[in-house]
Amino acid sequence: MIATIIGLIFLLIILGVIVWAGQQLLALIPLGEPFATIIRILGVVLVVIIVVYVMIILLGIAGINVKIPSMN
C-alpha cells in the first residue's frame, strides 16, 4: 500500500512538470485567444483522464478494486 502512495506522488509530480512545461511552450506559440484557451482546456482534460486511469491501475495493484463505469 505504501508503494502505491509513493507511486501516486511520483505520478503527480511528473504530470505536474509535464503540464507546466506544456503551458510554458504554449505561451511561445502565437495563437489567437480562443484557440489558446481551447488547447489549454483540452490539455488539462487529457492529463486528468490519464491521471484517473493510472490511479485506477495503481489502486488495483494495491488490492482496491475500482469499477470503471461503462456506457451500457
Residue count of the chain, please give it. 72
Q: What is the pLDDT of residues 7-63, one digit of tens each?
A: 778 878 888 888 888 888 878 888 788 888 888 888 888 888 888 888 788 778 878
Rounded to whole angstroms, the Cα distance separating 18 from 20 reads 5
First and final CA of the chain: distance in angstroms? 32
**DSSP per-residue codes, 47-70:** HHHHHHHHHHHHHHHTT---PPP-
- As to burial, measured by CB atoms within 10 angstroms (0-12 exposed, 13-18 middle, 19+ buried), residue 37 is exposed
